Amino acid sequence: MDIQQIMVIGAGQMGAGIAQVCASHGLDVYLHDVSEEQAENGRAGIGKRLDREVQKERINDADKERILRKIHPSSDLKNAEEVDMVIEAAVENMEVKKNIFQQLDDRTPAHAILATNTSSLPITEIAAVTRRPEQVIGMHFMNPVPVMKLVEVIRGLQTSDATHEATAALASRLNKTAVEVRDFPGFVSNRILMPMINEAIFTVYEGVSSPEDVDEVMKLGMNHPMGPITLADFIGLDTCLYIMETLHDGFGDDKYRPCPLLRQYVKAGWLGKKSGRGFYLYN
């Protein structure tokens, strides 16, 4: 299947990163969010990241302009009528995602693939709200998208071989490595990563150590590029909490209970880097 025109839903850190990588590899991208302002902000952030690439002499000004011209901010789902594929990267909430997929099913052309960048939610359940579950798939990019090589590709119960092949081919066109995983809560990445982050937050909650020292232990002792508390702030504490809730509900096992401190920070609006405050303060 020839994918040329794509829509990315959600212009936050993941959606903007996915749009940047798609446009850099020649795809036309609608970057869609709830308002024109949010979508424009997402595109402006991509412009800033591309400026840094120009400064590092990896691309030139003409490349930057060419990439930005391929990204069209959108707040009208009517634009989905033109696309070959959608990659949804809105908030990690099942009701929000189901609502988006229902609307996409009504609006996108019959051949269009509907992918979700969900971190943990069941693909099969999202697919079930559409009349094309065989064309629904998980395409899970890692943060920061322009840097990280992995894409987890998750087949729902009814995902077709053709949809899987087209999605894996797109990942490869974007210079990513696709790894196929089955549709279980948290897939592979977050089933392993998120309990570690949650446990790191428990060590802070129980007064075993400070955020700085927990990070130092994991950076110097385990060679992690970022400590788990910094990584939680980087991912977004809301996203971390929603993933833990999905693991807890999905497996029914208390070993996945979210740390109360994580809940409290999210309730306070301390969402990490994106809100200016999490376990650390950001400008």
Shortest distance, CB of residue 221 to ligand CAA, whole angstroms?
A: 16
CB of 265 to ligand NAD, least distance (A): 15
140 is annotated as an active-site residue: yes
Residue 26 dihedral angles phi and psi, to the nearest 5°: 90, 5
Angle, nearest 10°, between helix axes 61-69 and 13-24? 110
Secondary structure of 196-262 in HEC code, one letter for each residue:
HHHHHHHHHHCCCCCHHHHHHHHHHHHCCCCCHHHHHHHHCHHHHHHHHHHHHHHHCCHHHCCCHHH
Length of the chain: 283
Residues 111-140 touching ligand CAA, rule: CB under 6 A, are 119
Which of 74, 117, 190, 198 is labelled catalytic? 190
Q: How far, in whole angstroms, is CA 34 from its chain's centroid?
A: 17
User: What is the amino acid identity at position 129?
Assistant: V
Asked if 246 touches ligand NAD (CB under 6 A), the answer is no
- Find the binding residues for ligand CAA in span 47-76 (CB under 6 A): 49, 56
Region of 51-59, 88-96, 171-179, 222-230 interacting with ligand NAD (CB under 6 A):
88-96
- Which among 141, 144, 26, 34 has a CA at the least distance from the CA of 87? 141
Q: Which stretch binds ligand CAA (CB under 6 A): 60-68, 175-183, 210-218, 223-231?
A: 223-231
Q: Token match 């969900």: residue?
A: 118
For the chain, how are helix, strand and coil distributed in percent, rounded to 5? 50, 15, 35
- When binding is defined by CB under 6 A, the residue of 27, 46, 90, 197 that contacts ligand NAD is 90
Our CB check for ligand NAD shows the closer of 60 and 175 to be: 175
**Tokens 């509907």 map to which residue?**
114
Q: Is 152 a catalytic residue?
A: yes
Q: Which of 108, 164, 162, 155 minimizes the C-alpha distance to 131?
A: 108
- By a kind-dependent CB cut-off of 5 to 8 A, residue 91 interacts, out of ligand CAA, ligand NAD, none, with ligand NAD
What is the dihedral sign for C-alpha 119, 120, 121, 126?
positive
Provide the minimum distance between the beta carbon of 13 and ligand NAD in the complex, in angstroms, as a whole number: 4
Which is the catalytic residue, given 119, 120, 164, 198? 119
Q: Which two tokens stand for residue 128?
A: 């079930």
Give, as ranges, the residues between 144 and 173 that touch ligand CAA (CB under 6 A).
144, 146-148
Residue 226 as a binder of ligand CAA (CB under 6 A): the answer is: yes
11 binds, among ligand NAD, ligand CAA, none (CB under 5 to 8 A by kind): ligand NAD
Q: Is 111 a catalytic residue?
A: no
Q: Is 190 a catalytic residue?
A: yes
Out of 79, 102, 124, 143, which residue is the one contacting ligand NAD (CB under 6 A)? Answer: 143
CB 272 within 8 A of CB 232: yes
Cβ closer to ligand NAD: 92 or 215? 92
Q: Which of 7, 11, 136, 235 binds ligand CAA (CB under 6 A)?
A: 235
List residues binding ligand NAD (CB under 6 A): 9-15, 32-34, 38, 89-92, 96, 100, 117-119, 141, 143, 235-236, 239, 274
